[in-house]
């Protein structure tokens, strides 16, 4: 019964997130981004059919110089087309190289790390951690059949473009934490 109600809540949240996105974009573009930017970033990509540019908030888990993003729905299919994608991460724009994690075993391992770092991801994905922190295998397979993947965004460069409160952009060298060392 618990998993059924969790699934219903997850589906409702997946459908209503579009109403939250404009407010999230506004906050993430502003000086107040720190309120959300520890777990939510803005991802800009080009639509594979329309050629239009889209910017959408995405939850993420940081893993070295990569961001792991739960990819429900079909938006992630746009990441292989058009110009490079970019992510606004904690006030700084970065070019990224996307990689899809969709093989069942790989997906389970990556999602286990994501759920350990941010248990709230289970609310949006419909997949909760089971015994030993592993994703519930039945829930993961159900969502995988619906098109769920994890998108790994590899940050391409150390140099980013910072957003200021006035909306102006200026270049900065972003410090990226990689295996305990700082680069920059």
- For the chain, state the CA radius of gyration: 17
> What Cα–Cα distance (Å) separates residue 29 from each residue in 73, 92, 116, 132?
24, 10, 28, 38
pLDDT at 67: 96
In a domain, 39, yes or no: yes
Token pair belonging to 162 = 């910072």
pLDDT digits (tens, 9 = 90+) for 111-142: 999 999 999 888 888 899 988 899 999 999 99
pLDDT at 165: 41
Q: Is the predicted pLDDT of residue 171 greater than 80, yes or no? A: no
CATH number of the domain that 123 lies in?
A: 2.30.110.10
pLDDT at 9: 64
Pairing of strands 149-155, 61-63: unpaired
> What distance in Å separates the CA atoms of residue 178 and residue 183, rounded to the nearest whole number?
8
Backbone torsions φ then ψ of 60, nearest 5 degrees: -150, 160
In a domain, 56, yes or no: yes
In a domain, 132, yes or no: yes
How far is C-alpha 175 from the chain's CA centre? Answer: 20
pLDDT digits (tens, 9 = 90+) for 26-66: 888 888 888 888 899 999 999 888 889 999 899 999 999 99
Q: Which residues contact 153 (CB under 8 A, 6 or more apart)?
A: 43, 60, 66, 67, 69, 85, 87, 96, 97, 98, 99
Structurally, the chain folds into a number of domains equal to: 1
- Give residue 42's domain range: 2-164
In a domain, 68, yes or no: yes
In a domain, 177, yes or no: no
pLDDT at 177: 27
């Amino acid at each position: 019964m618990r998993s059924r109600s969790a699934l219903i809540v997850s589906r409702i949240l997946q459908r209503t997130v579009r109403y939250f996105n404009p407010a999230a974009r506004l906050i993430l573009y502003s000086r107040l981004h720190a309120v959300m930017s520890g777990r939510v970033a803005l991802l800009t990509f080009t639509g594979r059919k329309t050629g239009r540019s889209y910017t959408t908030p995405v939850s993420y888990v940081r893993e070295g110089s990569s961001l792991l993003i739960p990819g429900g729905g079909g938006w992630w299919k746009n990441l292989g087309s058009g110009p490079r994608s970019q992510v606004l991460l904690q006030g700084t724009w970065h070019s990224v190289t996307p990689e899809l994690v969709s093989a069942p075993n790989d997906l389970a391992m990556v999602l286990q790390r994501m759920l350990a770092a941010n248990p709230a991801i289970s609310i949006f994905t419909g997949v909760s951690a089971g015994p030993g922190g592993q994703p519930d295998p039945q829930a993961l397979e159900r969502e995988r059949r619906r098109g769920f993947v994890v998108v790994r965004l590899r940050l391409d460069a150390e140099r980013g473009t910072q957003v200021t409160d006035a909306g102006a952009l200026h270049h900065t060298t972003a410090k990226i934490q990689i295996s305990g060392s700082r680069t920059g």
